């Protein structure tokens, strides 16, 4: 947040021009649910397994925790992987890149996340917009989300963890 405020208060520099960052929402289901065609979202234990694989095998660092959960990871250049409300929703936030290099960079990050999901916990990407389930998938990984729950209520937020997914 501090960087965002600084960006607007100190102005855009020439080197900032032409750079684009992005956030990518992903969703994961269990491998066995795909075989049985029940399409179950990954559990909190599995999503944590994905995060741990990224840390232990792919060199990511833990950037934030909430209670006992890892809620955000950072790589050596500042890209982030974090929860996006649902326990099966994992967001990638990239550092800014020149437009012509962004998609190659995003693809590399997606490959790391998919590798961690498959090799770490046998989870696979869900390539459809909404994963229908009656389960309460909401995780509240940060203060912003806690405020949303307090202001809007848990039921209102339940629909927000069903975003379109790019996996």
pLDDT score for 158: 54
Between 151 and 161, the higher pLDDT residue: 151
pLDDT score for 132: 67
| pLDDT, tens digit (0-9, with 9 covering 90-100), for 98-115 | 878 888 999 999 999 999
pLDDT score for 69: 87
CA-based end-to-end distance of the chain = 27
pLDDT score for 101: 84
Residue 167 has pLDDT above 60, yes or no: no
């Amino acid at each position: 947040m501090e960087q965002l405020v600084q960006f607007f208060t100190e102005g855009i520099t020439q080197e900032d021009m032409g750079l684009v960052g992005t956030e990518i929402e992903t969703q994961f289901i269990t491998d066995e649910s795909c075989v049985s065609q029940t399409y179950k979202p990954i559990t909190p234990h599995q999503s944590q397994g994905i995060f741990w694989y990224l840390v232990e095998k792919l060199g990511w660092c833990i950037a934030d925790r909430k209670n006992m959960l890892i809620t955000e990871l950072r790589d050596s250049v500042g890209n982030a992987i974090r929860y996006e409300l649902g326990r099966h929703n994992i967001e990638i936030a990239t550092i800014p890149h020149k437009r012509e290099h962004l998609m190659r960079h995003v693809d590399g990050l997606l490959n790391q996340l998919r590798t961690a999901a498959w090799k770490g916990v046998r989870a696979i990407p869900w390539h459809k917009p909404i994963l229908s389930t009656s389960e309460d998938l909401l995780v509240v990984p940060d203060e912003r989300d806690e405020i949303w729950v307090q202001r809007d209520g848990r039921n209102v937020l339940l629909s927000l963890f069903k975003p379109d997914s790019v996996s």
